[in-house]
Amino acid sequence: MRLGIDGQKLPEAKKRGPLKSLDHVKELGLGGIFFSTILDMSATLDKGELRDIRTKADELGLYLEAGVGKINPYCSAEAPELRAIGDGDVMLGFTRMIEASAAIGCRELWVSPGNFKSEYRGRLANDRFRTDVTWDEQLLAIERVLLKLAPVARAHGVHLNTETHDEITSFEILRLIEKVGEDCMGVVFDTANGLQRAEHPVFAARRVAPYVRQTHIKDAYVGHTAGGLDFQTRPVGRGIVDFAAIIPILAKANPDLNLSLEVAASVEDRPRIPNPRQCIEINDPIWRAGHPDLSTEELEAYLALVDAFEKRVASGEIPDWESYEASQYGYPTYENQSYGYSEAVEFIKSSARHIEEVCTETGIPLSTPSTKQRAA
């Protein structure tokens, strides 16, 4: 396994551009970069630009991963670049992106089934609870897009890997794989997103492990609040996710899996609204009815996990939502916008150290510089 980072959350990624970002990843002591889409590497899919990025990644000994973006057609208007790269044809755009990715050896490709809107609180923040179209209708549309792209993926030896994103459940992803084919589909396992669907991270890891081909390594605070549960991204190892249990599950299924940190982006890279509380409306009847696959056993285990974490918060071991938000190294301090480059780098280093420690303790080989080398 190798430990790297999601390109969208790499500090100064847009400012530096893809080639200099590869140098930055190496400087940070990480093993690779996961560009969300191939368009983040070259907006025009220029063969020369893509070849140069591939060459440099190889020279630096870094892994290189990519994706093709949102495949929910109800979200297409929010991603005009997908239509533009196909000269007005979205499916041609996806096809061109798959071809360009395969040409530089990126054959594990991220796809996402929806969007998250942090400006809205509760269930309406994600596409699962849109009121203009049902989630079942969206899933059917996603399935049809994947079935159209499946022959292209097979022709180029590519897997279209659906992320366990904010709005979809792992159960639904597995059904999509069954319908479309595991020979051209897989999973991008985000270790924290399933918490927003009340999925226990360890339960979810066991379900999807045989199909996980890419990752987002992320941790979170989850605690009771008015209206449900608060969710807040935290450095890996300082949240509710048990990586000592999850990493061995993933490693057993795929020893060559790349682990890509998805960290809190600095306010310099991604300005955000003040106090973006991501409420999980777990007690709302509409929310509960929208999760028919969630078993009583898993829900009880999930709530027990939340309760155990809250005891750590109550003891002072873990800062609560408000304290963390107000902290200089919080995520982020919006009033004075202090969560900048140096804080984001510290977030990365802290997260990387925890994964290294887990791998050392569990005997899992991890191809990445040591903590001492990274600190230097």
**Mind listing the pLDDT tens digit for each residue in 199-251?**
999 999 999 999 999 999 999 999 999 899 999 999 999 999 999 999 999 99
Structure confidence by residue, pLDDT tens digits, 326-369:
774 444 443 445 788 998 999 999 999 999 999 999 999 998 65
pLDDT at residue 284 greater than cutoff 80: yes
Closest to 143 in 3D by CA, of 109, 172, 169: 172
Domain boundaries, the chain: 2-375
Q: Hey, what are 334's tokens?
A: 């919006």
CB of 169 closer than 8 Å to CB of 199: yes
pLDDT at residue 286 greater than cutoff 70: yes
User: Which pTM does this prediction carry?
Assistant: 0.94
Q: What percent of the chain has pLDDT over 70?
A: 94
Of how many residues is the chain composed?
Answer: 376
CA-CA distance, 101 to 45, in Å (whole number)? 9
CA-CA distance, 349 to 370, in Å (whole number)? 11
CB of 240 closer than 8 Å to CB of 230: no
Instruction: Give, in order, the Cα–Cα distances in Å from 124 to each of 136, 137, 187.
Output: 16, 17, 25
Terminal Cα distance for the chain, rounded? 23
CATH number of the 2-375 domain = 3.20.20.150
Q: What percent of the chain has pLDDT over 90?
A: 84
pLDDT of residue 188: 98
